[in-house]
Structure 1
Amino acid sequence: MENSVLQVTNLVDLLCKRGSLHPEKLVFKFLRDGEDDVVDITYGELDRQARAVAAFLQKSQMTGKHVLLLYPSCIEYIVAFFGCLYAGTVAIPAYPPDPMRLRKTLPRLQTILDDAQCSMILTSSQVLSFFKKIALAQSIGNIPILGKLGKKISSRFDFPNVDMKNIEWVPTDSMDQTLHQEWQNPNISEENIAFLQYTSGSTGDPKGVTLTHGNLMHNEKFIAEYFGPCSVVVSWLPLYHDMGLIGKILQPIYQGNHCVFMSPLHFLQKPLRWLQAISKHKGTTSCAPNFAYDLCVRKVKPEQKKELDLSSWYVAANGAEVIQKSTLDQFYEAFKECGFRKTSFLPCYGLAEASLIASGIKHNEEPKISYFNKEDLLSNGVTPCNSEDKNSTPLVSCGVTQREQKMIIVNPDTKELCEERVIGEVWLSGPSISRGYWNKPQVNEEVCQVQPLNWQGDEQFLRTGDLGFLHEGHLYVTGRRKDLIIIGGCNYYPQDIEKTIELCHPAVRKGCVAAFSCMVDVEEKLIVVLEVKDVLADTGRLKSILSKDKDKYPVDDVSKKIRRAINENHQLAVKDIVLLPPRTISKTSSGKIQRSVCKENYLKGKLPRI
């Protein structure tokens, strides 16, 4: 398998040299329909088109400024991303708006624009047209001749649109390609910021992780050491997410190979397409969160497996959420007849603040599965045991970190170092680790520039917010510190879900709601626990004795509205809703909800459910 790593220090020099050395070599192949409609680009073409975008940005005096990238998954996005790097601007990859959730996605997009202080938006003609149509629909109510009809149309779009007036929008698909001749190399250094990776959670206050060229080049080296030669990468991951951008776009260029990719929507519509692409294009490397492997097991039919050849797939990385042994076992059993090997699995751990990967096992090694006493784990104890033990539970190792990088486990409350087999917070330090969040100095001081007590070195550590422990040098992640909910590879902040619940029904007591996830049938599921106003439970109805009009709320009505509100605002299904009497939910002495205690009482069946 071909693998040629160049001795360069930044992403601009990397692609420039690839374009010069192998101009006719394929670098990306995009499956526009997820299957056979293919468009591709070579290293030389990508280099030339990136120079054209960069020259335009330089002529527009964008060097050193922030430029938002707003594209669906496509080759044009990759061209625009490298165009920003070539111009010495800071790229801001952003989630494209969801037409079905504009009330949610447009304000979030505007928040990123404002927080990142963007000076320009690079996009496609199609996306630009979409935003213009929204602006037109919002303004049509002001046209007198249309009267009530105009106001009715506008009322359907009564939400904030992205700024169309005070920021320049540039569709790169209609850009003059001869501009590449005018490009000037900005002489990028390792310390230059390449892009801001905005956190992907549902929080209304997204934070931009600053990633330098040095961070990224070090992490690409890291990935190559774990994965080995990535001759043909196959991916459906979003290009604006760290795993999709850094792992599936930058890594093939780092190694001088190519990537075949499709839209995430095409994968979700038909998971078989992912495996078909690996089979057809002889993919060697493909990564996904745990849920994607489960989805393939459930959705791919026996007769469809007969057409698959997965024998070329030797790195099947699994990350972005807690890795389940059952997922690895079930996927292997389902697809071993297609040539899939158990040694192809590569469990790993990473996060945006670490560029991407922070630990993993080496390719061609079977995943390391260890068994621990499950009752001890509930109380932060770690006791190794045999798989035959009835109280044992398997945990999948996320491997070890590499040289130049440090991983320690720290008591998150006392900041004291933890010994092996003691659960604490995972802290990281090294060249891949971000210097912090854009324009968040206080958060950076508290999260990104810390040291454990009595630390003798000069290193500054990142507090990941993840809980885990070290056993025989391997990292085992047990969950998220405190309350971060991870479902389907996405992060959901409980306070956002709790706020939604508080606002959806008058019977809910504000400040008395807890949201968390539990493992149900090998998948993380959302559980919500909440107090309702002083009530009498009688014949399945909740009677408020505090409200002036003595309203009665059917229990089913409360639950239905909660489910509907969470689905509409967070696109999540609720596994269980627990209604509690007043003043029964667990809180700290300062009045904060103790979500972990709520979860523990829920699992033990100790909640006073109405």
Structure 2
Amino acid sequence: MIAAELKPAPTLVACLEEAARDDRFAISFFRRGNALEQLGYAELFARARSAASFLRENGVGPQGRVALVLGTCSDLVAAYFGVLMSGAMPFLLATPRLGRSPDYARSIGAQLQAAGAGLVLTDRASARHLESAVLAAHCRLAFVDDMPTDGPEAGLAQPEPGDVALIQFSSGTTNDPRPIALSHANIIANCRAIIETFPGDLDEHGGCSWLPLHHDMGLIGGLLTAVVAGRSTCLMRPEDFITRPASWLRLIQTSGATISPAPNFALQICADRIKDSELEDLRLDRWQIALIGAETVHEQTLRLFADRFAAYGFSYGSFTPVYGLAEATLAVSFTPVGRGPLAMRLDRALLAEGRAVENADGVSLVSVGRPLAGIEIEIRDQDGKELGERQVGRIFVQAPSVMLGYLDQPDQTKRVVGSDGWLDTGDLGFLLEGELFIYGRARDLIILNGRNHDPVQIERSLDGVAGLNHDRAAAFAIEEPDRGTEGFVLLVERERGAETAPEALATAAREAVIQETGLVPSLVGVLETARLPRTTSGKIRRGAARTQHLSNQYDYLAISRR
């Protein structure tokens, strides 16, 4: 087994120290497609020790909590390991550029307070955006600009496997982000389970990622898995991908990476926005493992991307849909590498009743694979009874990577992690021949006439409507007292520069939903671009959108009512 090639290391610091013994591998940083810096593991280990001393001088001690607000750069990576070596607990937060929310300081302040931050390490350019947040959280500010790359290394901590190695905030799609405590043992177990899926010799593989490092898929999947493996990876800034999506594909080629992760929306962006003129001499033949996760995986998007880039060597079989969540560190299930996606068309009405039955004209769901090594999955009903195959229920997970708990929130932890160690993910799905299929978030479900409807399937009805933003819609349930029942609202964003009148867009959206799903929206509201609330990783926050709608916070361009 490929993970057996790895020498055992009980902590992430020990993993880094082990990686530092081999000078063949490094972390490379790219900016705007150009190589910026190559950081060997030995140099990273030395810089992390210096960072730990710097943090100690700034009052950071054992069990302290340090927020890192930095973009993708070598200073951030050195600081992360420096926090561990100082005996403190690190957590990464979005930079002002990636904060997305117009109320960036308020949301960051809430996270600083939730995690009990004692120190915020940032750069001077970002500091002005953080002043009010730091004041509200009563924590100190230090600048990475002052952090030496070498210096004294006395009195460094030796963490234990059960110590907190990361405070990772939950995605925040259904409620405010919660601080999740993950141990060294949690993270290493998950990284090794991921590495176990890679075929062949470990030396043949290398990674490449543009995902933000404050996101679990970026930090753990894009960086820490490489450190645990002691192999090379390439990191680029997420803003460079958004500005020029082709730079990601170019980096996969130039780095020779075999592994690169992305959410579904990134594939859509590449297919829609990359011009043929940007693809000259591009080759993607070495990209064997395209890990697709962090949001619902759509067969239509996979095929669109594969068709667009097949001429450049990309194979549909390289797609590896995955499932995971921060409460389980990162990864829970992987599609077998090299097999390609497994999609099924299921009867929509029966699916709403909780049964997965094939129907050639039904809705498409893509498998997110089988449990990783050491992980168990069960599907349970609302009473906690295990369900059989093809029955939709709540997804429960048991694994060595299940979190220590929500930081300083024992009651919240007990609500999702049982005394037997099983984690209630809050997601709905079903198993079929050992493969997991996701049907949405339990809290997001729209219940109409006793049937459960996944809002994602309603939102995907809009894919063919010109003038609306892809993946920028929110469907959510509302009470309709006059009708004595529940209905649902669909909010959509007009594409920037769209020439179609907002009234026509509202009508087209309504008709598309009715035609595709047979469901009739109570209201369709058209908004300007970028008005719907999103998490720092880009997911639509349906709960927040519902709250804003009900409190009349939106200025609609047009409304279409039932």
Identify whether the pair has TM-score above 0.5, normalized to the shorter chain: yes
Shift of 1:260: 1.3
Aligned residue identity for 1:12: V
Q: 1:376 aligns with which of 343, 350, 353?
A: 350
Q: Are the aligned partners of 2:11 and 2:185 in contact in 1 as well (CA < 8 Å)? A: yes
Structure 2 CA distance, aligned partners of 1:284 and 1:277?
A: 11
Structure 1 CA distance, aligned partners of 2:226 and 2:148?
A: 27
2:421 is the counterpart of 1:460: yes
2:450 is the counterpart of 1:478: no
Structure 1 CA distance, aligned partners of 2:244 and 2:158?
A: 44
Shift of 1:209: 0.9
> 2:248 maps to which residue?
274
Q: 1:362 aligns with which of 316, 336, 341?
A: 336
Shift of 1:305: 2.9
> 1:400 maps to which residue?
370
2:474 is the counterpart of 1:526: yes
Q: 1:181 aligns with which of 143, 153, 157?
A: 153
Q: Higher mean Cα deviation, 195-204 or 87-96?
A: 195-204
- Cα 1:484–1:394 change in 2 (3 A) is closer
- Cα 1:49–1:6 change in 2 (3 A) is same
Aligned residue identity for 1:433: V
- Cα 1:178–1:36 change in 2 (3 A) is closer
Shift of 1:200: 3.0
2:48 is the counterpart of 1:50: yes
Aligned residue identity for 2:40: T
What is the RMSD computed on CA atoms of the aligned residues?
A: 3.3
2:279 is the counterpart of 1:309: no
Q: How does 1:210-609 map to 2 (within 5 A)?
A: 210-228=181-199, 229=202, 231-384=205-358, 389=360, 391-411=361-381, 413-449=382-418, 459-483=420-444, 518-522=459-463, 524=471, 525-527=473-475, 563=527, 567=531, 570=534, 609=561
2:91 is the counterpart of 1:92: yes
Aligned residue identity for 2:379: I
Aligned residue identity for 1:396: V
Shift of 1:327: 1.7
Shift of 1:331: 1.5
> 2:516 maps to which residue?
none
Shift of 1:58: 3.5
- Cα 1:105–1:227 change in 2 (3 A) is farther
Q: Are the aligned partners of 1:318 and 1:347 in contact in 2 as well (CA < 8 Å)? A: yes
Q: TM-score, normalised by structure 1?
A: 0.73
Q: Are the aligned partners of 2:113 and 2:137 in contact in 1 as well (CA < 8 Å)? A: no
> 1:7 maps to which residue?
8
Q: Are the aligned partners of 2:100 and 2:534 in contact in 1 as well (CA < 8 Å)? A: no
- Cα 1:164–1:107 change in 2 (3 A) is closer
* Count of aligned residue pairs for this structure pair: 486
Q: Higher mean Cα deviation, 92-101 or 251-260?
A: 92-101
Structure 2 CA distance, aligned partners of 1:28 and 1:61?
A: 27
Q: Are the aligned partners of 2:134 and 2:141 in contact in 1 as well (CA < 8 Å)? A: no
Gaps of 5+ in 2: 447-453, 464-469, 483-502, 505-522, 541-545, 551-559
Structure 1 CA distance, aligned partners of 2:161 and 2:366?
A: 35
Structure 2 CA distance, aligned partners of 1:461 and 1:337?
A: 45
Q: How does 1:67-106 map to 2 (within 5 A)?
A: 67-98=66-97, 103-106=102-105
State the Cα deviation string for residues 243-262 of structure 1 (Å, max 9, x = none): 00000011111222111121
2:33 is the counterpart of 1:35: yes
Aligned residue identity for 2:367: S
Shift of 1:284: 1.0
Shift of 1:93: 1.0
- Secondary structure of the structure 2 residue equivalent to 1:358: strand
Q: Are the aligned partners of 2:220 and 2:330 in contact in 1 as well (CA < 8 Å)? A: yes
State the Cα deviation string for residues 452-486 of structure 1 (Å, max 9, x = none): xxxxxxx321111111000011101111113179x
Q: Are the aligned partners of 1:88 and 1:188 in contact in 2 as well (CA < 8 Å)? A: yes
Q: Are the aligned partners of 2:122 and 2:142 in contact in 1 as well (CA < 8 Å)? A: yes
Shift of 1:36: 1.6
Structure 2 CA distance, aligned partners of 1:199 and 1:178?
A: 34
Shift of 1:560: 11
Structure 1 CA distance, aligned partners of 2:539 and 2:328?
A: 30
Q: Are the aligned partners of 1:30 and 1:261 in contact in 2 as well (CA < 8 Å)? A: yes
Q: Are the aligned partners of 1:427 and 1:463 in contact in 2 as well (CA < 8 Å)? A: yes
Structure 2 CA distance, aligned partners of 1:215 and 1:276?
A: 33
State the Cα deviation string for residues 146-174 of structure 1 (Å, max 9, x = none): xxxxxxxxxxxxxx443289432221232
Q: TM-score, normalised by structure 2?
A: 0.79
- Secondary structure of the structure 2 residue equivalent to 1:54: helix
Aligned residue identity for 1:527: A
Aligned residue identity for 2:42: G
- Cα 1:176–1:328 change in 2 (3 A) is closer
Structure 2 CA distance, aligned partners of 1:25 and 1:105?
A: 41
2:124 is the counterpart of 1:125: yes
- Secondary structure of the structure 1 residue equivalent to 2:251: helix
Q: Are the aligned partners of 2:333 and 2:372 in contact in 1 as well (CA < 8 Å)? A: yes
Structure 2 CA distance, aligned partners of 1:164 and 1:377?
A: 47
- Secondary structure of the structure 2 residue equivalent to 1:380: coil
Which one has a bigger Cα radius of gyration? 1
- Secondary structure of the structure 2 residue equivalent to 1:40: strand
Aligned residue identity for 2:425: T
- Secondary structure of the structure 2 residue equivalent to 1:482: helix
Aligned residue identity for 2:285: S
Shift of 1:25: 3.7
Shift of 1:116: 1.1
Q: Are the aligned partners of 1:53 and 1:80 in contact in 2 as well (CA < 8 Å)? A: yes
> 1:603 maps to which residue?
none
Shift of 1:329: 1.6
Gaps of 5+ in 1: 136-159, 451-458, 486-513, 535-554, 575-584, 586-592, 594-607
